Structure 1
Amino acid sequence: MVVVSIATETDHRKIEEKWKKKWLDAKIFQSDPDSREKYFCNAAFPYVNAPLHLGHGFTYTRIDVMARFKRMSGFNTIYPFAFHATGEPIVGVATRLEKGDEKQRNILLSSGIPEKDISKFRDPKYIVMFWKKRIEEDMNDLGLSVDWRRKFTTIDPEFNKFISWQYRFLKKKGYVVQGTHPVVWCDHCKSPTGDHDRLQGEGESPIDFTILKFKFKDKYICAATLRPETVFGQTNMWADPEVEYSVVLVNDKEKWIVSEQCAEKLKEQGKTIKEMGKIQGKEMIGKYCTAPMIDNEIMILPSKFCNPNIGTGLVTSVPSHAPYDWQALVDLKNNPEELRKYGIDPEEVRKIEPISIIRLDGFGEHPAQEICEQLGIKSQKETEKLDKALKIIYKKEHHTGVMKDNCGEYSGFRVEVAKEDVKRELTRKGLADAIWEPTEKVVCRCGTQCYIKILENQWFLKFSDERWKQKTRECLRMMKIYPDSGRKNFESTIEWLRDKACARRSGLGTKLPWDQEWIIETLSDSVIYPAYYTIAKYINEKGMQPDQLTDELFNYILRGEGDLEKVSEQTKIDKKTIKDMKKEFDYWYGFDLRGSAKELIPNHLTYCLFHHTAMWDDQTRWPKAMTVNGMLNIEGQKMSKSKGNFIVLRDAIDKYGSDAVRITLMDCGEGMNDINWTENDVLSWKSKLNSIYHLITDNYNQGESRLENTMDKWLVSRLENHIKIMTQALDQTNNRTAATEIHQMVNDMSWYLKRTEKPNQGVVDYFLENFVKLLSPFAPFIAEEIWEKLKKKGFLSLEKWPVFDQKKIDDEILQLEESFKKMTEDIKEVIKLSGKNDKLHLYVVSDKELSHFDEGKSFLKKELAFKEANIYILSDPKKYDPEGKAKRAKFGKPGIYVE
């Protein structure tokens, strides 16, 4: 018998189409309540405005591997899916097409949409239905073991009734409130813009800048800062000489000098703004203004890093602690001609020295200077390096810095404390105000750049409620987080999360039940929808109408409240159906695992915890576990359409086959680290799967029936170790660890066949049957095909997962065979160095080694082309040892002599 690596190229796509059809026809992934322990896993549903990409495939396959593993382990398992259509993205696509946007048109063409069908995508509902159908097909092609009876979209009228029930309940509990808050705002859509409604800036949120007011004649030059505590280190003011600034009367009291863009934003943030005139930046250069708090006259100097779109468009300078300020000052001192252009004496600027106000471990007097030198920054034009320097210094000073003795009453304060205290004092004295900005640039799906608006009478989820936070902390404490290192991210989010706008004016979705002008936004209707999966099959199959889905029905089924008779009479749904729906919910909920990418922890995933603790006091309904994964890189680079390395999932499946795509993704990495997909890896796995197919089908039901020998016991022991490692790894969603064992099993079988002259049919078949079961969650299509080739009945996907048996492991044999393997490699090196391989002499220290190695003599002769092989124990007085090699022998490392 020989090991066949690649006899013929297996037609993977033909196999995948065959088993996809068989699974769907037999409905093997549809599960209903029964006496078994349940396992309910789900992943964040896809947005239906584009095809799935390889990153989706990574997240969804991770959960599918768990679903298949649990199903084979005897759990009654469901893995349902639905489709997210809420919000602005889909309307944004339609709107851009309506406007003749060529970029949007080309995106659709590149996604495989025929030219003749492009006009249909001007209808948002057509977009939803088109991508819903295609995504479902892609999921089936990927081999996801989904119960499709439970599918829905978030714009289905029936689902809208579910969300309306949810929000009426939240409002009644006081978790949805009306108030005045800063929100990220799209002026085109006239709505707050949540994370999923953004083309750019997901995760960014409002942050308040302190506006410092610098007396300038009868006006105030205003500079915005995130670090008000650094007022004690101000040395000068920066202005862009090319910018035309606005002079505005604020609240009919003070004249401020700010950028035109700032003036417009202030109007949206509760201030009365009256335009009084303009002043060119260059008109202020070389003049002086009075710095607040320190009451010093400081010079206004020219700089290009003042951005009129951020803050006020003017910047106060603290060069000791701000890398941009330090480098800009250095640049000016080195360019006297630039100063003379504005009538400034270069000597006056050379006199400006940085003022150190913060003590920071690991740095000297001027941290900004040191970090610029460390990063090799030579000019203020090196913005990437300066941004990096800024983040390093600001973070370190905020968390560990201490105010120095030259900071008045704040001397000795930790920076993070002084920041708030100084801001309060400045505001109280009328020396400061505030402006809100997004933490980074945000662009709405409609293409409009967003800004921060103070919104009155807006509806918010009251995430700041301490009682609600406490319940959510308890929920998280009870949960498993995979990997556990992600737990601190959830904890941090729970603490910093504040009230969040939950509705917008435009887009698709559920109207706020008590205020129909508002639509519940995309991150606010996607938090408890796993509960809807449990009853969706009844709503779908029985054709229930939206008006039948009353709050009373949902309260009875999902919260156990109300009277069955009254609910049945009111809804015109028969009592048996209602009881069955309640039974279904009670059996399946809460879910056992939810998976998504780590970038959703600060929003979607943590919101999910909050909403569950609000909707159910019964802790059994709360989430049991979440698994978060890193992002997907392609050939070492972040996947990006602009970089040309964006891979659509369907294209990958068509090119490499689903099984190869799945197992490559699972073998790329685990935990929260980003993973790296390479074509070499997927081609390697495609070839490996082909080899596995032939290895199993060519060697199954071969060999002879005989008693087990040492190598048989070794092979069984190795198998049991693989079962143990893979079972433990999959339970923790460590799929890469489990996938690595697939490699090892191929190596083990190949080694066994080389080491054994007459393989034991029973042992080989036992190994191969279990091998294909262990392969199944990763490469289910080819595993099913192999199972059929072995003439097994039924679907492999429904077979029992191998159970680890410690009694079948012989640790001694494992150790001895590992020594034998290493010794074989050592002998090869000796042959290579000596050029001899006529006779082999081995010296061992124990009887166990003698017995085990003696059994391998024929292998050594055949493998290494020796004419003769002899094995001696050290105690043998008749051993042949002309060069004294025996004395080098240790247990597990025999002495070697060749001639």
Structure 2
Amino acid sequence: KTEPKGNSRRDFLRKIETEMQAIWDEKKVNQADAPEDYSSMSFEEKNKGKFFNTFPYPYTNGRLHLGHAYSSSKNEFATRFEKMRGKRVLFPFSFHCTGMPIAAAAKRLVLEKKFAEEEKSAKVDKSKTQRGILESMGVPEDEIDNFEDPEYWLDYFTPKGRADLQVLGLNTDWRRSFITTPKNPYYDSFIRWQFNLLKARDKVVFGKRPAVYSVLDGQPCADHDRSQGEGAVPQEYTAVKLRVIELPEELKEYEDKDLFLIAATLRPETMYGQTNCFVLPDGNYGIFKMPGDQYFIMAERAAKNMAYQDLTEEFGKYEQVGKVKGSVLIGTPLKAPLSKFEKIYTLPLLTISMNKGTGVVTSVPSDSPTDYATLMEYKNKADVRKKLKVEEEWVKDYEPFPIITIPGEESKEEGKEALSEPIDMIAVDLCKKMKIKSQKDVKKLEEAKDIAYKKGFNQGVFSYGDFIGEKVSVAKDKVKDMLVETGDALIYFEPDKKVI
């Protein structure tokens, strides 16, 4: 049996390290002061031989980790290198405490305690709770309740971060270390001065823009204010209004109302090719009263989002007047903006997510592989229609038709034949080439979708509609603006991934 190796070599190196760090502290080698005659120096003399280095303030909602050590090693190298070149080097290090993550974590502790008291029998994975996370950082259990106060996080983790960096031997002037937030009145005053000056010079203005918004805190939730979803940004959809022209029996009470299915799309330019609409059969949809005495059918989550985008009568509020199951909507005839068909039908699609968009999806089989595969399945397979309760008349007379052409690739050699022929319907072409037979070929359909969308946008030219001959990349916004101006659509945003 091999005995584990001892730590003598590591301990010897640590001994040297701590001895040298003590000498640095004694001689104050990490401290940087202005020369005594600084005030009498010329601008050139003041700036000659100076080097300033800084590090993005680490957030104090926990202990520092290896990533901080790795990133700060770059500062460490530059600072020592420039100091060896004889420069006056200043490297301060500070801690970021502003934003919502700390406040949100503190609030989460309070809510977890309340839930534990109300639901004593509920099973909870402690490692995923805020209390469990703090315990994993080495916080004593009898101290965790103190973290319900957001300021306690600052008092606890900031000195521990500094202590860890001192053990690491970071070459920084700790006299100049500070934290953010109003708890540090000097830094807070500096930030206030900075923004007041910018405002006075008309460099900042008050207004609205798309942003990830925290309903709980009543303000935008910036990137570093999140416990999950860093990097998420507002994604713009065109919410297309599909007018209900014949109501199912369950919705007869809305007979005299302007009722619409709201389909969120990233590709408004393809609306010319609509042949049908999709809903999730098991999806729970709401009916919401909107401005102009219109009624929208969509996921409640989408209605809530719209309430914070000035799309409802009152900011932050939405009026739900009814509920309807997706299965009830199947077979509902609709009038789709820009489609050449006077009437299209609502069909089932099993892959719809109620956590994205509105839960309603337009269908353009000429340019969407999933739409084409699903439509063909319903047209050609009676057993599938029977299983999903789709009537043949809802699909029989609806064929994909060309709206966007992908030009062929010409040969660079004169007199040679074209390398590829133009493609009139990219989705149809890809489904045939990739042998996609069903809406269940999810992996192939995802691959085909990426190809179709990229080629359609970057290379496509309109062959149908109001902008024939124009490139899709140029005319896409024109189609979107036209839909909005005619009242057939509205602009809608939601984060492009989950944010907490």
Q: 1:281 to 1:105 in 2, by over 3 A?
A: same
Structure 1: stretches of 5+ with no match in the other structure:
1-7, 444-899
Structure 2 residue corresponding to 1:282, chosen from 309, 322, 327: 327
Q: Separation in 1 of the partners of 2:439 and 2:80?
A: 55
Residue in structure 1 matched with residue 269 of structure 2 by the alignment? 229
Contact kept in structure 2, 1:340 and 1:346, CA below 8 Å: no
1:325: Cα distance to partner? 2.6
Is structure 2 residue 58 aligned with structure 1 residue 57? no
Structure 2: stretches of 5+ with no match in the other structure:
1-7, 36-44, 114-125, 246-257, 410-421
Residue in structure 2 matched with residue 89 of structure 1 by the alignment? 101
The code of the aligned residue for 2:53 comes to C
1:279: Cα distance to partner? 3.0
Q: Separation in 2 of the partners of 1:247 and 1:395?
A: 35
Contact kept in structure 2, 1:285 and 1:301, CA below 8 Å: yes
Residue in structure 2 matched with residue 240 of structure 1 by the alignment? 280
Q: 1:134 to 1:221 in 2, by over 3 A?
A: same
Contact kept in structure 2, 1:207 and 1:437, CA below 8 Å: yes
Any idea what SS the aligned residue of 2:63 has? coil
Determine which structure has more spread, i.e. the larger CA radius of gyration: 1
Q: 1:277 to 1:115 in 2, by over 3 A?
A: closer
Residue in structure 2 matched with residue 31 of structure 1 by the alignment? 32
Q: 1:71 to 1:251 in 2, by over 3 A?
A: same
1:237: Cα distance to partner? 0.5
1:346: Cα distance to partner? 5.0
Q: 1:96 to 1:290 in 2, by over 3 A?
A: same
Residue in structure 2 matched with residue 315 of structure 1 by the alignment? 361
Alignment of 1:756-835 (within 5 A): none
Q: Separation in 1 of the partners of 2:54 and 2:454?
A: 37
Is structure 2 residue 183 aligned with structure 1 residue 125? no
The code of the aligned residue for 1:125 comes to E
Is structure 2 residue 187 aligned with structure 1 residue 159? yes
Contact kept in structure 2, 1:358 and 1:401, CA below 8 Å: no
Identical amino acids, percent of aligned pairs: 37
Contact kept in structure 2, 1:51 and 1:111, CA below 8 Å: yes
Cα deviation, 1:560-597, whole Å, max 9, x if unaligned, reads xxxxxxxxxxxxxxxxxxxxxxxxxxxxxxxxxxxxxx
Q: Separation in 2 of the partners of 1:256 and 1:420?
A: 24
Contact kept in structure 2, 1:262 and 1:308, CA below 8 Å: no
Contact kept in structure 2, 1:235 and 1:355, CA below 8 Å: no
Any idea what SS the aligned residue of 2:207 has? strand
Structure 1 length-normalised TM: 0.45
Contact kept in structure 2, 1:212 and 1:431, CA below 8 Å: yes
Structure 1 residue corresponding to 2:221, chosen from 184, 193, 199: 193
Q: Separation in 2 of the partners of 1:31 and 1:378?
A: 71
Contact kept in structure 2, 1:377 and 1:385, CA below 8 Å: yes
Contact kept in structure 2, 1:248 and 1:277, CA below 8 Å: yes
Q: Separation in 1 of the partners of 2:444 and 2:13?
A: 48
Residue in structure 2 matched with residue 417 of structure 1 by the alignment? 474
Any idea what SS the aligned residue of 2:345 has? strand
Residue in structure 1 matched with residue 459 of structure 2 by the alignment? 401
Q: Separation in 1 of the partners of 2:102 and 2:442?
A: 35
Any idea what SS the aligned residue of 2:9 has? coil
Q: Separation in 2 of the partners of 1:198 and 1:374?
A: 43
Q: Which has the higher contact order (CA 8 A, sep 6+)?
A: 1
Q: Separation in 2 of the partners of 1:391 and 1:197?
A: 32
Q: 1:282 to 1:29 in 2, by over 3 A?
A: same
Alignment of 1:583-598 (within 5 A): none
The code of the aligned residue for 2:426 comes to P
Contact kept in structure 2, 1:204 and 1:442, CA below 8 Å: yes
Residue in structure 1 matched with residue 426 of structure 2 by the alignment? 367
Q: Separation in 2 of the partners of 1:176 and 1:46?
A: 26
1:9: Cα distance to partner? 3.4
1:309: Cα distance to partner? 3.3
Residue in structure 1 matched with residue 9 of structure 2 by the alignment? 9
Q: Which moved more, 1:313-322 or 1:376-385?
A: 376-385
Q: Separation in 2 of the partners of 1:376 and 1:13?
A: 64
The code of the aligned residue for 2:494 comes to E
Q: Separation in 2 of the partners of 1:343 and 1:113?
A: 58
Q: Separation in 2 of the partners of 1:14 and 1:378?
A: 69
Is structure 2 residue 483 aligned with structure 1 residue 426? yes
Alignment of 1:411-810 (within 5 A): 411-443=468-500
Q: 1:257 to 1:116 in 2, by over 3 A?
A: closer
Contact kept in structure 2, 1:402 and 1:412, CA below 8 Å: no
Structure 2 residue corresponding to 1:176, chosen from 190, 201, 204: 204
Cα deviation, 1:739-767, whole Å, max 9, x if unaligned, reads xxxxxxxxxxxxxxxxxxxxxxxxxxxxx
Contact kept in structure 1, 2:378 and 2:390, CA below 8 Å: no
The code of the aligned residue for 1:107 comes to I
Contact kept in structure 2, 1:97 and 1:104, CA below 8 Å: yes
The code of the aligned residue for 1:9 comes to R
Cα deviation, 1:423-469, whole Å, max 9, x if unaligned, reads 122222222222221222221xxxxxxxxxxxxxxxxxxxxxxxxxx
The code of the aligned residue for 2:323 comes to K
1:148: Cα distance to partner? 1.0
Q: Separation in 2 of the partners of 1:424 and 1:68?
A: 57
Q: Separation in 2 of the partners of 1:382 and 1:68?
A: 58
Structure with more of its chain in helix, by fraction: 1
Q: 1:382 to 1:47 in 2, by over 3 A?
A: farther
CA RMSD, 1 decimal: 2.8
Q: Separation in 1 of the partners of 2:434 and 2:29?
A: 59
Is structure 2 residue 184 aligned with structure 1 residue 139? no
Q: Separation in 2 of the partners of 1:147 and 1:377?
A: 64
Q: 1:382 to 1:337 in 2, by over 3 A?
A: closer
Alignment of 1:852-871 (within 5 A): none
Residue in structure 2 matched with residue 829 of structure 1 by the alignment? none
